[in-house]
A and B are shown apart, each in its own frame.
Chain A
Amino acid sequence: MRTGKAVAALLALGACAAVALLSGPAGADPDIILNIRVPRVLAAALVGAALSVAGAILQGVLKNPLADPYIIGTSSGAMAGAAAAAWLGLGPLSPFFYLLVGGGGLGATAVAYRLARVKGRTSGVAMLLAGVAVSSFLAALVMLLVSLDRGRGLPLLPFLLGTVRAFEPAALAALAGVTLAGSAAAAVLGRQLDILSAGEEGAVRLGVPVERMKLALFALAALLTAAAVAVAGAVGFVGLIVPHAARRIFGPRHAGLVLYSAACGAGFLMLADALARTAAAPAELPAGVITALAGAPFFLFLLRRGTAEERR
């Protein structure tokens, strides 16, 4: 049965890739598919996978099915980095843009982690609260920068709304490396993530080095999120709903869950990005708008179904 589910997931992933590669205003032109759509679809798949794996990790560590990659401050930090880059006149073609975005994301996460740490321990709730506070502060800072300088702020808009871009091969390669290595690392740590998600006091007694493990997992999630944000900006909802849905289909064990989340997230964002490219062609919609428009109702559906099941 487990092999069956794995095969089904791979087939669905392939189908999503095919649909995404074949759809676009120019139809099925081989040149366009090869030179334009392949990098773009690859970028969408990697962003979706990275965000979903980060979400699966964070929901486990924080023992909260409502956690997502943005809740620990990574996204706002990366956004602040992008806004700072725009302020300095650096666009997505400059390597310094990626340094600022990545540094901002990881830096903000480190600040949230440090703020949540009391007497050598970091409680999940404290990390959530610190992340939310850091996020709100940095998001306000981004809005301030955008308001102060409309002329330079506006090119940031697609980034703020979440748009998959694929015109920087080095960034794409970095994202591919981080996504593959990050998913593999999360799968290997899956057994300990299971125990951690079932309660920290029990985890100590079951031999999990709780504080070190949490630090490693937060760092992993932040790295995955920052890499995704650097390529596509703030694509919302993927990291929240994909692990949630994958858990319902494939069960809560994280070794499998992170890999299935990667596959489902890749498929979901490939489709959402294809829709973003075609729905209003020749204009292009931000993929983040599509994921939120499709994701929010789906998520509400899952939540309603969940509460109905719990009431039984």
Chain B
Amino acid sequence: MTARAKGDVLLEFGGVSYSYDGVRALDGVSFSVGRGELVSVFGPNGSGKSTLLRLACGALKPAGGSITAAGRPLGGLTPRELSALAAYVPSEPYIPFDFTALDIALMGRSPLLRWWQDYGPADRAAALRALESCGVAPLAGRGINSLSSGERQLAFLAQAMAGGAPLLLLDEPTSHLDLKYRSAFFETLAALTAGGLTAIVASHDLRLAASYSTSALVLAGGKVLFSGPADGAVSPPLLAEAYAITPEAAARLA
């Protein structure tokens, strides 16, 4: 969110608002994300983090303001173009049937296929490459429900990558992982963004996420409280205001 040439902006929110049945979730949110950035979104539950991510992938349409992707309004993109732009990593996916990690990664190729087509060799290769870059290629043949939470989350990161979208949107991807996998997940994410991908991560792991991020956004009550370099986001007075806690308590979080 530092100064950059216009061509480098991948996603831009301009005064975006959104309400669920009359309840305002986002209120005049503006920010822009450059290619290759890793952006953290902080804020208490209900502050609008998930809404922001849903708007960014086109699942919701803004009630006010504009969202543009690489200069084009998001609202004008077809579902196919939207999935070619952004892929989403859910928080804690529950899968009732025991698909393999490779099956899960392959699903990320689905937006590229017509309805009657099955996955081909190119899709299989792309899915395996995605598992490889997320460090879970050896688990390709394992059932997704036999994996640990951390391994499963990396398989879903591979799914998001497999379709080749330049923008990854992650909604609290590490909230239920142990320390080892929180660390492994952010290491992987940092490597991916160093390789040219762009990521927006909603997270409650303030210190960890901020240390890997290029910039951060702090939301409170649907408004942007802070937007700038990541280390600026973890200042105690700012967090005290965002999370409505005492400055002393905030100092222990930051």
Q: Which residues of A contact B (CB under 8 A)?
A: 60, 63-65, 188-192, 194-195, 197-199, 201-202, 204-208, 247, 251-253, 255
Q: Is B20 an interface residue (CB 8 A)?
A: no
Minimum C-beta distance from A199 to chain B (A): 6
Q: List 12 A-B contacts (CB under 8 A).
A: A63-B96, A194-B103, A194-B107, A195-B110, A198-B95, A199-B94, A202-B107, A204-B59, A205-B57, A206-B110, A247-B97, A255-B118
Q: Which 5 A-B pairs give the minimum distances between C-beta atoms?
A: A207-B111, A252-B97, A206-B110, A63-B96, A205-B88
Residues of B within 8 A of A64 (CB): 96
Residues A192 and B99 in contact, CB atoms below 8 Å apart: no
Q: Mark B93-105, 1 if CB is under 8 A from A, else 0.
A: 1111111100110
Residues A206 and B94 in contact, CB atoms below 8 Å apart: no
Residues of B within 8 A of A189 (CB): 115
* Distance of A64 Cα from B99 Cα, bound (Å): 15
Residues of A within 8 A of B57 (CB): 205
With A204-B59, A205-B57, A206-B107 already in contact, the answer to whether A197 and B97 are too (CB < 8 A) is yes
Residues B90 and A207 in contact, CB atoms below 8 Å apart: no
* Distance of A254 Cα from B99 Cα, bound (Å): 10
* Distance of A207 Cα from B113 Cα, bound (Å): 9
Minimum C-beta distance from A56 to chain B (A): 11
- 15 more contacts with CB within 8 A, not counting A64-B96, A252-B97, are A60-B97, A188-B116, A197-B97, A198-B95, A198-B97, A199-B95, A201-B90, A202-B93, A205-B83, A205-B87, A252-B98, A252-B99, A252-B103, A253-B99, A255-B118
**Nearest residue, chain A, Cβ from B88:** A205
Residues of A within 8 A of B115 (CB): 189, 192
Residues of B within 8 A of A199 (CB): 90, 93-95
* Distance of A251 Cα from B145 Cα, bound (Å): 13
Q: Which residues of B contact A (CB under 8 A)?
A: 57, 59, 79-80, 83, 87-88, 90, 93-100, 103-104, 107-108, 110-111, 113, 115-119
* Distance of A64 Cα from B97 Cα, bound (Å): 9
Contact partner, B90, options A191, A197, A202, Cβ 8 Å: A202
Residues of B within 8 A of A198 (CB): 93, 95, 97, 99, 104, 107
Residues of B within 8 A of A201 (CB): 90
Residues of A within 8 A of B95 (CB): 198-199
Residues A191 and B99 in contact, CB atoms below 8 Å apart: no
Minimum C-beta distance from B165 to chain A (A): 10
* Distance of A199 Cα from B115 Cα, bound (Å): 18
Residues of B within 8 A of A204 (CB): 59
Minimum C-beta distance from B149 to chain A (A): 15
* Distance of A205 Cα from B99 Cα, bound (Å): 19
Residues of A within 8 A of B107 (CB): 194-195, 198, 202, 206
Residues of B within 8 A of A252 (CB): 97-99, 103
**Nearest residue, chain A, Cβ from B86:** A205
Residues A191 and B96 in contact, CB atoms below 8 Å apart: no
* Distance of A124 Cα from B9 Cα, bound (Å): 40
Minimum C-beta distance from A190 to chain B (A): 8
Contact partner, A65, options B79, B97, B110, B116, Cβ 8 Å: B97
Residues of A within 8 A of B111 (CB): 206-207
**Nearest residue, chain A, Cβ from B115:** A192
**Nearest residue, chain A, Cβ from B90:** A202
Residues of B within 8 A of A60 (CB): 97
Contact partner, B110, options A197, A208, A253, Cβ 8 Å: A208
Minimum C-beta distance from B140 to chain A (A): 14
